[in-house]
Amino acid sequence: AQKITQTQPGMFVQEKEAVTLDCTYDTSDPSYGLFWYKQPSSGEMIFLIYQGSYDQQNATEGRYSLNFQKARKSANLVISASQLGDSAMYFCAMREGLGGSYIPTFGRGTSLIVHP
Amino acid sequence: DAGVTQSPTHLIKTRGQQVTLRCSPKSGHDTVSWYQQALGQGPQFIFQYYEEEERQRGNFPDRFSGHQYPNYSSELNVNALLLGDSALYLCASSLGTGASGANVLTFGAGSRLTVL
């Protein structure tokens, strides 16, 4: 079974608008961490945001926020006020804790294109 | 502060040949992980090196091997190349192997391998 599912192969958004990228995960481990990375065409994976399974509040980093719904096993990335430079691939990843290997598992990614 | 550096950035090999990819971790990091990213896919974990030993390994054949040096730099070797080995190979560094806090992976820009 897929541990990380990103159902949107591609998303389009108008500059300055907000966009939500979906991510669902599958784990029975009570301790886990969720990550979002951005991969521009240059290839480098850039860390955006992290959410721990025990964190009570949704994580935020500047224009990025993580909509964490634990019961639904959902960890959607919200980008506010999109910029042209946000056009890239976005990957959701999960690292399982106590029963896992601490090695992040990545989803297949979502391609985001920001239109002017 | 230099991040993760990888070399070469691009290379072309033929089936059956051998390849060596190199990685220098971010300053202060002691753990190196290697990922394979096929076109249109998310990164797949190959193995992780810590204290000059392979600590964890993903579902990759023995043709994939590695090494870590005392200065924490690392190599990925692939023998008997197959067409299916064509991919972007990403190196990521971190401090330690565990899940303390976010323990974010810092990625390099990758080595793009084409096997003809």
CB-CB neighbors (< 8 A) of A103 in chain B = 33, 45, 48, 56, 58
Question: Which residues of chain A does B101 touch, with a Cβ-Cβ cutoff of 8 Å?
Answer: 52
Residue of B nearest to A10 (CA): B40
Instruction: Kindly calculate the radius of gyration of chain A based on its CA atoms and give it in whole angstroms.
Output: 14
Distance from the first to the final alpha carbon of chain A: 38
Chain B interface includes A31 (CB < 8 A): yes
Q: Is the pLDDT of residue B2 over 80?
A: no
Q: Say whether residue A68 is in contact with chain B using an 8 A CB cutoff.
A: no
Give the mean pLDDT of B64-69.
98
- CB-nearest partner of A50 from B88, B102, B108: B102
**pLDDT band with cut points at 50, 70 and 90 for residue A92:** very high
Of A49-53, B6-10, B92-96, the range with the highest mean pLDDT is B6-10
Residues of B in contact with A101 (CB under 8 A): 56
**Smallest CA–CA separation between B37 and chain A, in Å?**
10
CA distances from B59 to A83, B7, B56 (A): 38, 24, 10
User: For the residues B90-111, what does the mean pLDDT come to?
Assistant: 81
Q: Which residues of chain A are within 8 Å of residue B48 when distances are taken between CB atoms?
A: 103
Residues in chain A with CB shorter than 8 Å from the CB of B33 are 103
| Comparison of pLDDT for A43 and B101, the residue scoring more | A43
Of the two residues A2 and A109, the one the predictor is more confident about is: A109
| pLDDT at position B81 | 98
Tokens read off for B48: 């992780």
Check residue B103 and give its pLDDT.
73
Q: Which amino acid is at A105?
A: T
The shortest C-alpha distance from A1 to chain B (Å) reads: 15
pLDDT for residue A98: 57
Name the residue of chain A whose CA is nearest to B104's CA: A47
Tell me which residue has tokens 């991919």: B87
Of the given ranges (A30-34, A73-77, A87-91), which has the lowest mean pLDDT? A30-34
Non-local CB neighbours of B69 within 8 Å, separated by 6+ positions? B52
Task: Indicate whether A10 pLDDT > 70.
Answer: yes
Q: How far are the Cα atoms of A19, B39, B64, B104, B115 from residue B88, in angstroms, in the given order?
A: 28, 8, 14, 20, 12
pLDDT beyond 80 at A101: no
Lowest-pLDDT range, A87-91, A108-112, B104-108? B104-108
CB atoms within 10 A of CB B36: 22
Note the pLDDT of residue B73: 97
Average pLDDT, chain B: 93
Over residues B36-66, the pLDDT tens digits come to 999 999 999 999 999 999 999 999 999 999 9
Nearest chain A alpha carbon to B58: A103
- Cα of A77 to nearest chain B Cα, Å: 17
pLDDT of the residue at B96: 75
Cα–Cα separations (whole angstroms), residue A49 to A59, A66, B36, B57:
7, 7, 22, 26
Q: What is the pLDDT of residues A33-72, one digit of tens each?
A: 999 999 999 999 999 999 999 998 999 999 999 999 999 9
Closest CA to A37 of B43, B39, B47: B43
- Report how far residue B1's alpha carbon sits from residue A1's, in angstroms, rounded to the nearest whole number: 40
Map tokens 């951005």 to a residue. A38
Question: Which structure tokens are listed for A84?
Answer: 């042209």
Q: What would the mean pLDDT of A79-89 be, rounded to a whole number?
A: 97
| Rounded percentage of chain A residues whose pLDDT exceeds 90 | 82
